[in-house]
Amino acid sequence: MSRTHVPEREQSGSSSGGSPADELAKLRQQAVKLQDELTELRRSFDREREHFHATLEQHIAFEKLITDIAVYFIHLPSTQIQDGISYALREIGAFAGVDRMSVYLYADHTFTHLQGWYVEKGIIPSDPEPAIRTADISWWFDQISQLKPIHISDTAMLPAGAQRELAALNMHRMQSLLAVPLTYTQTLNGFVVASSVSAQHDWSTEELSLLSTAAQIIANALARQQLEQQQLLDDRTVHHAVADAAARATNEDELLGYVTQLIGEALAAENYGVLLLHEADHTLHTHPSYHDGQVMIRWEQAVAGRAVASGKPLRVPDASQAPDALTIAPDSRSVLCVPLRISGRIIGVVNVESARTNVYSEADERLLGTFAQQLATGMERIRLFAAERRRTAQQRTLARSAGSIAAALTPDELWSAMTTAAHQTLAADRIGIFLYDESSDAFSCPFSSGLSSKYVNALQTRFRDAPIVKASGDLQPVVVNDILEDPAAASLRDIMVREGIRAFASFPLSPSLTMRKTMVLYRNEPAAFTADDLATGQTLAHVVAIAIQNIQLFSEIKHSLGREQQLNEMARMLSSTLDLPTLLARITGMATELIGADAGLLGLVIDNQIMTYYPFNVPGSVSLLPMLKGRGVAWRIVNSGESFLLPRYHELPGANRDWIRAGAQAFIGVPIMAGDTRLGALELFSFSPDKRFNERDQALAKSVGQQAGIAIQKARLYSDAQQRAGALAAALAKQEELDKLKSLFVQNVSHELRTPLGIVHGHAELLNSGRLGELQSDQQRSVQIIARRVRMLTDLVRDFSALLASETQEFRREEIDPAWLAQSMLADFQMEADKAEITLEADIEQALPPLVGDATHLRRVLDNLVGNALKFTPAGGRVTLHVWRQDINILFEVTDTGIGIEDSQLDSIFERFYQVDGSTTRKHMGTGLGLALVKEIVEAHQGHVSVRSQVGVGTTFQISLPMGNNIPGE
Contact positions toward ligand ADP, by CB under 6 A? Answer: 864, 868-869, 872, 896, 898-899, 901, 909, 914-917, 926-932, 955
Which residues, listed in sequence order, are joined to residue 882 by a DSSP beta bridge? 843, 893
Nearest one of 159, 151, 156 to 170, comparing CA atoms: 156
Q: 104: part of which helix (H) or strand (E)?
A: strand 100-107
Instruction: Pick the closer one to ligand ADP by CB: 103 or 932.
Output: 932
- What residues contact residue 398 under an 8 Å CB cut-off, 6+ apart? 421, 425, 536, 539, 540
Instruction: Between 591 and 797, name the residue whose CB sits nearer to ligand ADP.
Output: 797
The 3-state secondary structure of 162-205, one letter per residue: HHHHHHHHHHCCCCEEEEEEEEECCEEEEEEEEEECCCCCCCCH
Q: Which is nearer to ligand ADP, 760 or 947 (CB)?
A: 947
Taking the least distance from each CB to ligand ADP, the nearer of 605 and 838 is 838
Q: Quick one: 418 or 861, whose CB is closer to ligand ADP?
A: 861
Give the shortest CB-942-to-ligand ADP separation in angstroms: 22
Q: What is the residue type of 239?
A: H
Residue type, 169: L
State how far the alpha carbon of 909 is from the alpha carbons of 643, 935, 957, in Å: 66, 10, 12
Distance separating alpha carbons of residues 503 and 486, to the nearest angstrom: 9
Of the pair 499, 896, the CB lying nearest ligand ADP is at 896
Say how far residue 402 (Cα) sits from the centre of its chain.
25
CB atoms within 10 A of CB 374: 21
CB of 780 to ligand ADP, least distance (A): 27
559 or 835, CB closer to ligand ADP? 835
Give least dist CB 911 to ligand ADP, A: 8
Pairing of strands 839-844, 878-886: parallel
The least CB distance from residue 922 to ligand ADP, in Å, is 8
Q: Which one, 352 or 959, has the nearer CB to ligand ADP?
A: 959
d(CA 44, CA 424): 111
Minimum Å gap between C-beta 744 and ligand ADP is: 25
What is the C-alpha end-to-end distance of the chain, expressed in Å? 150
C-alpha 624: how far from chain center: 76
Of the candidates 802, 803, 930, 935, the one whose C-alpha atom is nearest the C-alpha of residue 864 is: 930
Q: Is 8 left (phi over 0), alpha (psi -120 to 50) or beta?
A: alpha
Shortest CA distance to 412 belongs to which of 276, 290, 555, 528?
A: 555
The span from the CA of 583 to the CA of 683, in Å, is: 16
The DSSP code sequence of 738-766 is: HHHHHHHHHHHHHHHHHHHHHHHHHHHHH
C-beta separation of 754 from 797 below 8 A: yes
**Least Å from the CB of residue 846 to ligand ADP:** 27
CA distance 326 to 514: 62
Q: Which one, 752 or 917, has the nearer CB to ligand ADP? A: 917
Least distance CB 812 / ligand ADP (angstroms): 24
User: For ligand ADP, which is the closer residue by CB, 60 or 792?
Assistant: 792
**Shortest CB 740 distance to ligand ADP, Å:** 25
Residue 180 or residue 790: which is nearer to ligand ADP going by CB? 790
Report, in Å, the least distance between residue 951 CB and ligand ADP.
9
Minimal distance, residue 906 CB to ligand ADP, in Å: 9
User: 211 vs 862, which CB is nearer to ligand ADP?
Assistant: 862
| Least distance (Å) between residue 836 CB and ligand ADP | 13
Of 299, 297, 363, 305, which Cα lies nearest the Cα of 337?
A: 305
Residue placing its CB nearer to ligand ADP in the complex, 72 or 910: 910
Instruction: Tell the smallest beta-carbon distance from residue 957 to ligand ADP (Å).
Output: 7
Q: Which residues contact 647 (CB under 8 A, 6 or more apart)?
A: 665, 666, 692, 693
CB-CB contact of 123 with 90 (8 Å): yes
Other beta carbons within 10 Å of 182: 26
Under DSSP, is residue 505 helix (H, G, I), strand (E, B) or coil? strand
Closer to ligand ADP by Cβ: residue 720 or 807: 807
Specify whether the CB–CB gap between 403 and 420 falls below 8 A.
no
CB of 886 to ligand ADP, least distance (A): 22
CA geometry: angle 706, 707, 713, nearest 5 deg: 90
d(C-alpha 787, C-alpha 86), whole Å = 137
Nearer to ligand ADP, 19 or 919 (CB): 919
- CA torsion sign for 739, 745, 751, 756 is negative
Identify which of residues 237 and 905 has a Cβ nearer to ligand ADP in the complex: 905
- CB nearer to ligand ADP: give 742 or 922: 922
Q: How far is the CB of 767 from ligand ADP (least distance, A)?
A: 27
Minimum distance, C-beta of residue 808 to ligand ADP, in the bound complex (Å): 20
Considering the complex, what minimum distance in angstroms separates the CB of residue 762 from ligand ADP? 23
Q: How far is the CB of 916 from ligand ADP (least distance, A)?
A: 3
Question: Do 134 and 141 contact (CB within 8 A), yes or no?
Answer: yes
Compare residues 184 and 914 and give the one whose CB is closer to ligand ADP. Answer: 914
Shortest distance (Å) from residue 773 CB to ligand ADP: 35
Residues 6+ apart with CB under 8 A from 51: none
Beta pairing, strands 442-449 & 430-437: antiparallel
Distance between CA 479 and CA 468 in Å, rounded?
A: 10
